[in-house]
Amino acid sequence: MRRDHMKSVLPRGPITLLGNLSETRYWVYLLLFPSLILLLLVVAYPTLYGFVISVREMRLTRPGLNGWVGMKHYVAMMSDRVFWISLKNTAIWVTAAIAIEVTLGFVAAVALNRNLPGTKLFGVLILLPYFLPNVVAGHMWALLLDPRLGVINDLLVRIGILSTYKAWFADPATALAATILVEAWHGFPFFALLFLAGLKGIPEDLYKAAAVDGAGPVRQFRLITVPMLKTVIAAAVILRVISLVNSPDLLLVLTGGGPGNATQVLSLYAFQTAYREFNFGYAGALSVVMFILLMLFATIYIRLTHVTKE
């Protein structure tokens, strides 16, 4: 009690100093400081380290070879067949998955936005795939599409689309498409959720005005819904592209990049280079290329969609 009393009388207590500090503009920097340190430690440092090892020889199984090699890995990459296949597959994989996810996400969001009876429950159900870890989703689909026991094969044979069970992941013609469908199934709730939030933000009056003006559902969608969701779409696509390019887990579970590199993508290739060949230098270079490609994509995309304006 007495100490408290003293504190309020003496102007120079630590609390008072802190109080005074909070009135100055340094306070903001002080508050940012912890998160800045954290960012530096867990983002900036690993990123820089990645750049550094990409110009070094770093093969765990060859401790003697350590040293600077400059652009060696990048030069080697230019003539690395698997790199080019992976690059092409990454582009196909990301583009196709996003296209499907955006479409499904939109349909789901519009349906959920109707507020019909049962949409609450449906809303939870639709989000379920997203709650599943990629690895779990991968194993589940591996079983669903299994060439021996798969329910999907069974259904397709029963309704006459297939004559015999198909090994979807064993045929290079269908492996990538099959994995894309699984990824899209897993990822579309992300778009549904964001689009739903976006749709809720569009004033009802706009649709009423359009109805009075005589614009049909298609025009309303094109002239109101899409433009009003532009920012949400742009942000969601960027986030999803980044996560798709960076996460090889589903492919690792479903195909391991096979058959014969038919489903090899950059992230999986970098992962395998690092953890199967223990060639961290080359894996680092692959990751740096992914990083640069993603940065380029994000910059160009943001420019094109003008989302930073307004």
Binding site for other proteins (CB under 8 A): 60-63, 82, 146-149, 164-167, 169-172, 175, 203, 205-206, 208-215, 219, 223-224, 227-228, 255-262, 264, 272-280, 310
**Distance in Å, CB of 280 to other proteins, minimum:** 7
| Helices first, then strands: H and E counts in the chain | 16, 2
Nearer to other proteins, 179 or 241 (CB): 179
**Distance in Å, CB of 99 to other proteins, minimum:** 23
Nearer to other proteins, 249 or 298 (CB): 249
Nearer to other proteins, 108 or 268 (CB): 268
Residue 133, judged by CB atoms within 10 A of its CB (0-12, 13-18, 19+), counts as exposed
Q: Which residues of 87-116 are buried (b: 16+ CB within 10 A; e: fewer)?
A: bebbeebbebbbebbbebbbebbeebbeee
**Distance in Å, CB of 123 to other proteins, minimum:** 22
Nearer to other proteins, 56 or 240 (CB): 56
* Crossing angle between the packed helical segments 134-144 and 172-200, to the nearest 10 degrees: 130
**Distance in Å, CB of 274 to other proteins, minimum:** 8
**Distance in Å, CB of 189 to other proteins, minimum:** 27
> What backbone phi and psi angles, to 5 degrees, belong to 68?
-75, 135
Nearer to other proteins, 247 or 261 (CB): 261
Euclidean distance between the first and the last CA atom of the chain, given in angstroms as a whole number? 55
Contacts of 154 (CB under 8 A, 6+ apart): 165
